[in-house]
Structure 1
Amino acid sequence: MSTEEHVWRAHVVKCLRERNRKECENFKEIIEQNNRLIDHVAQLKSDNLKLSVENEQQRSAMSTGGTGSHVAIATLEKKLLSQQEELTELHKRKGENSQLIVDLNMKVEQQRIIMSEREHSLAEQQTHNNRLRAEVHLLHSSLEELKKLNNTLLDEHTALQLAFSSLEDKMRGIQDENRCLLERLMRYKSKDADKLNEENESIIRKRSAKLKRDLEDAVREPSASSNSAPTAGITSLHRNSTSPAQLIGGIITDDDFDEATINGAMEAIGLDDTEYINARFTAGEVCETTRASIDALKATGYLGQANPTKILLKFEAHENESHAVRWSPVERMVATGGADRKVKLWDIGKNSTEPRAVLSGSSAGINSVDFDSTGAYILGTSNDYGARVWTVIDNRLRHTLTGHSGKVMAAKYVQEPIKVVTGSHDRTLKIWDLRSIACIETKFAGSSCNDLVTTDSLGSTIISGHYDKKIRFWDIRTEKQADDVLMPAKITSLDLSKDCNYLICSVRDDTIKLLDLRKNQVISTFTNEHFKISCDFARASFNSTGLKIACGSADGAIYIWNVNGFLETTLKGHSTAVNAVSWSTNSNLLASVGKSKRCIIYSDS
């Protein structure tokens, strides 16, 4: 028996003795009194027996005669009566003591039961204690193993830290060397650029002189030619010539206009669009006919692509207000989303007012729709805190993305077709893996997201517009956030040019900002006294060439600006506010939806 078990047994014996002392001490005097009473009763019984014998003797003596015996008998009878009374009292006390003994025996039994229960509980506690001791022993063993493993890991960490320090020193050396090489390269490039600038300046001077001579020759043409058609002398130059003088000396019509030719000539001369017009129409050298050509150029937007002016189709797209519209990148098909919880596909090539398909599954209004780059999938966001992906070919709901705690305002493909990014009013952006239908990353923006775009098919950079007036840039490769761009009011929509160099941002102060993403700064602002942003999710759009911007207004008109700054045209057709517009990527078609349930398709012919 171990020392601990001996101590435990001694402690139990001590406790039992203490308990017996406390429980029996109170009844010890009663038991002693009862024992004395029992002895006294036995004594009285013997005395009573003696008295009975004496009484019999006295009676027998009385029967023989004598007066003295009568007195003795009377005395004895009194004594006997008193003894009987005393015996009765003793019997009464005996009964009380017997009842007390019965009660005490019952208490003793109860204490025995309690003691047996405690002994059973003690045995269970001892068993549990043994198990805990075994567990403690195992934990001690595990702790020792963990200490050894920790020491090993510390040694490995120290070794890796030394290796890292060595590699870091080597990296710094390589960076210094790379910096030196870059500085040398920049010096060489600067020299080359200076030489190229000198050559360009020489070419520009020569061509400017030639341009001036050609303009002077055009102005000094004989009056006979002026009596003929106003454009005869000026358009006599070959229309397909790429000579800057010929391009600038003639009036360009829609048939003559060649975007590549104009761009090539302007680039060769070194002029931008405004300088090009100013060079064409210098003071003192502009006739009325050439002044009229300015209006013709503005009407065609500098690049010869006419603005949509006619309504091709007009139909009621949804049962309630329409919120979103987007063209397919591969078909003459447009998708619309509305407050009736449906996404509808419309085949514009057939000029049909019946939807090609109705995509259901959302339990609240649709906020945005978008296609992937192949046009095979359509992505819609909803007020039910979710986003959904449908396939266009069979109109089936493929994925439902739920996890936001606020309405989802925008969604775009990243690393298509396996990932999607969504922006919500819960102040977060979530990136979803469509293979596992799970959120793989959450970005906390700190403000409600109204719209977002991605810079390329790989989705390396996400740009989001927010309620707190900020445009945020997220690089998912490095998980770092670039500097924010602050706008004067909350942002309603974003759209990227095709080359991803320019971003338009519609702002709630009734302006549209044009940002150069290479500089991360606003380079132009578009506004008009009658132009009013209709709602917090009003969508603006670039055209396919990235040279025109369209946005709907609260007065039901659609305003089209040239990126150079002036308003080209205003389209009518809606009777209520326009919520969203979208420019076709394959043709010069413009689609718009608004609060009047209607979708209108505008065309240039």
Structure 2
Amino acid sequence: MANWRQQLILRFQERDSNEVQKYKDIILQNNRLMDNVAQLKADKLRISVENEQLRSAVANNTGPAGNLAFLTLEKKLLSQQEELTELHKRKGENSQRIVDLNIRIEELNAQMNDKDRQLAQEKRSNASFRAEIKMYVSSMDELKRLNTTLKDEHTALQLAFSSLEEKLRSVQEENYNLLERLKDYKSRDADKLNEENESFLRKRSDKVRRELEDAVRETSRNSSSPISSEAIDCTNGIDISGIDCDLHIPPMSMNPTNMYAKFEAHEGEVSAVRWCPTEKIIATGGADRKLKLWDVRKRSPEQLAVLTGCSQGINSIDFDSTGTYVIGTSNDKGVRVWTVADHRLRHTLTGHIEKVMAAKYLHEPYKIISGSHDRTLKVWDVRSSACIETKFVGSSCFDLVTTDSIGASIISAHFDKKIRFWDIRMEKPINDLLLPNKITSLDLSKDCNFLLCSVRDDTIKLLDLRMNNILRTFSHENFKLSCDSARVGFNFDATRIASGSADGSIYIWNTLNGRHEELLKGHSPGTSYSFLHSSAVNAVSWSPTQSSLASVGKGRRCIVWTAEL
């Protein structure tokens, strides 16, 4: 009951404020003017009555006194007329003011109507905004609930991942121990084989010596021309009458002279190639921003996967020691890690400000080190995908290697012609070596005793890391490196090295004697080699277990070479 009365009072007050208060001054002024008009009309009537009385008095009273009274009345009449004129003038002015005020009132009414329309529109907008706010609040609540659910799922997945990672770590440690045991067994087998070979050589040498001595004695009996005992002096063999009795054990590795397979690997230039350490799988990367895995067990290689994620061309590829992960570096300043089994992108490491030229595992599978054109080396924690250390080098890095899976030592090659040796626990390099020109790539022998360096002066240096000096320099009159990132490599027993050349050929040298042994020729129109590389070879990679070689270049082609027919 009180509500509708209060609403009526409020509406009356609102009507008074809209219809009365705005015109209150005008109404008061108008009432004042009406009062003045009524007063003037009464004065006019009174003066008219007095005038008539004076006229009748003048008509009745003639003479000097009457004239005097008439003049007095006439003056009074004139003054009253002037006053009346003034009042009419003021009335006209007040009327004009009333007209002006009415016009102003109409203008204010129009403005008020516009304001009312705007107010109504703003009220409608406000109502729609309130509805949107309610909708957004409900959506936010829903997203919060969804976020909570996802966090719970992420926590569960993280726990599962930690458990699987722990299992993987134990399996990798077991695998590492097995590899060490396998290396030990192979070393024992090699020592045993060397002992058997030496025993065989001694027995064979003694046998040949006895046979020759018997032959000499028989000859001396039949003829009187004895053979000098100096002719029978050979420690590793016997050379008599042009007979070469040196005994050589066939080398375990041979030169890959036959083309095993060729295929179009990418849509443009191919800049990187790497063999998987455990399977017959080759990884290639090119300017088409893709990293591809190929099964080369058959002469027609099968594409296993296309690993994507890079936004620019790939510069280098590397596997971990178990072949579980593959790393790719790119011109888009990033390092990416994929799993070989399910071909999924696991980690994207970003932080360099220039293109990344190389990356290796530093402590499998937890840490990775990368080298970039931004003159830094960065150590990454793979578990958190974060950079945990930055080493400022002072020169662009072209390539790097780590001495083992634990990553105690790092070797990096740079634009300023220096090879830098790092201890991971120290900020600055523990040593460096100056070469004649900038270094394009590095490769380390399996025993970590020898380092291979390709230098931009078209030579390849073999370093003995135990003595920290240059052991041999490999070159050829027609050999020229194709680019600043050309990759060279050791074969599986470090007895041979291979490198691609700018003319599309591949050169192979023997590390034991420094000789150039093989030339796998490139494109030559009109010859049988026209199916090989038709442009510069950028990178080569040896098989980790046999005498097979993969090569890629500025063309789209990848070729696999083998020593088998």
TM-score > 0.5, shorter chain as reference? yes
Asked whether 1:593 is paired with 2:552, we answer yes
Alignment counterpart, residue 250 of structure 1, candidates 227, 230, 237:
237
1:415 to 353, 359, 363: 363
Task: Please point out which of 321, 324, 337 is paired with 1:376.
Answer: 324
Distance 1:390 1:579 in 2: 23
SS in 1 for 2:58: helix
Give the distance between the partners of 1:227 and 1:418, measured in 2 at CA: 74
TM norm structure 2: 0.58
Q: Taking structure 1 as reference, are residues 95 and 322 closer, same or farther at Cα in structure 2, changes over 3 Å only?
A: same
Q: Hey, what's the Cα distance between the residues in 2 that align with 1:422 and 1:495?
A: 15
- 2:538 maps to 579
Partner of 1:358: 305
| 1:509 Cα deviation after fit | 1.4
Is the counterpart of residue 513 in structure 1 residue 509 in structure 2?
A: no
Per mean C-alpha deviation after superposition, the further-off stretch among 88-97 and 335-344 is 88-97
SS of the equivalent of 2:302 reads coil
1:324 to 272, 293, 298: 272
2:253 is the counterpart of 1:310: no
* 2-structure distance, mates of 1:372, 1:422: 14
The one-letter amino acid paired with 2:482 is S
Which of 426, 430, 436 aligns to 2:378? It is 430
Structure 1's 62 and 534: CA in aligned 2 closer, same or farther, altered over 3 A? same
1:319-350 CA-to-partner distances (Å, cap 9, x unmatched) read 443322222222343333334444344444x3
Letter of the 2:544 partner, please give it: T
Instruction: Please give the TM-score of this superposition, normalised by the length of structure 1.
Output: 0.54
Deviation at 1:316, TM superposition (A): 1.4
Q: Distance in 1 between matches of 2:406 and 2:448?
A: 13
Deviations 1:481-531 (A, max 9, x none): 445444333321111222334322212111122334456554543222221
**Retained in 1: the 8 A contact 2:361–2:405?**
yes
Letter in 2 for 1:569: E
Q: Provide structure 1 residue ranges, at least 5 long, that are not aligned to the other structure.
A: 1-43, 107-213, 238-244, 252-284
Structure with the larger helix share:
1
Distance 1:483 1:84 in 2: 125
Contact 2:507 2:520 in 1 (8 A): no
Inter-partner Cα distance in structure 2 for 1:86 and 1:50: 14
Identity of aligned residues (%): 56
Please name the residue that 1:537 is paired with.
485
Secondary structure of the corresponding residue to residue 480 of structure 1: coil
| Contact 1:322 1:339 survives alignment (8 Å) | yes
Partners of 1:355 and 1:226 in 2: how far apart? 67
Return the alpha-carbon distance in structure 2 between the equivalents of residues 455 and 53 of structure 1.
136
Name the CA distance, whole Å, in 2 between partners of 1:235 and 1:477: 61
Give the residue type in structure 2 aligned to 1:65.
N
Cα 1:510–1:306 shift into 2, 3 Å: same
Match of 2:58 among 57, 62, 82: 62
Q: CA deviation at 1:65?
A: 1.6
Structure 2: 5+ residue stretches without partners = 1-39, 105-204, 220-228, 524-534
Aligned partners of 1:226, 1:498: CA distance in 2, in Å? 52
Query: Counterpart of 2:442?
Result: 494
Does the 8 Å contact 1:447/1:467 carry over to 2? yes
Maintained 8 Å contact 2:440/2:487 = yes
Per-residue CA distance 1:31-63 (angstroms, 9 max, x = gap): xxxxxxxxxxxxx99999998898677445324
Q: CA shift at 1:543, angstroms?
A: 2.6
Equivalent-residue separation in structure 2 for 1:382 and 1:234 (angstroms): 66
Shift of 1:533: 0.4
Structure 2 residue identity aligned to 1:510: D
**Residue in 2 aligned with 1:551?**
499
Residues 443-481 of structure 1, C-alpha deviation per residue, up to 9 Å, x if partnerless? 444544322212221223333323343434444323334
Maintained 8 Å contact 1:307/1:569: no
Distance 1:517 1:368, change over 3 A: same
For 1:223 and 1:529, the matched residues in 2 are separated by 51
Write out aligned runs for 1:84-233 (5 A): 84-86=81-83, 88-89=85-86
Give the direction of change, closer, same or farther, for the CA distance of 1:226–1:548 in structure 2 (3 Å limit): farther
Q: Deviations over 1:11-35 (max 9, x none)?
A: xxxxxxxxxxxxxxxxxxxxxxxxx
Provide closer, same or farther for how the CA distance between residues 306 and 287 of structure 1 changes in structure 2, counting only shifts above 3 A. Answer: farther
User: Match of 1:602?
Assistant: 562
Contact 1:541 1:550 in 2 (8 A): yes
Partner of 1:116: none
- Give yes or no for contact 1:540–1:580 (8 Å, CA) kept in 2: yes
Change in 2 beyond 3 A, CA 1:226/1:395: farther
Deviations 1:360-409 (A, max 9, x none): 21454332221111122222223444333232333333333344444332
Check the 8 A contact 2:253/2:546 in 1, yes or no. no
Letter in 2 for 1:374: T
Give the superposed CA RMSD.
4.6
Q: Does the alignment pair 1:401 with 2:398?
A: no
Q: Which residue number in structure 2 is paired with residue 205 of structure 1?
A: none
Cα contact 1:548–1:562 (8 A) shared by 2:
yes
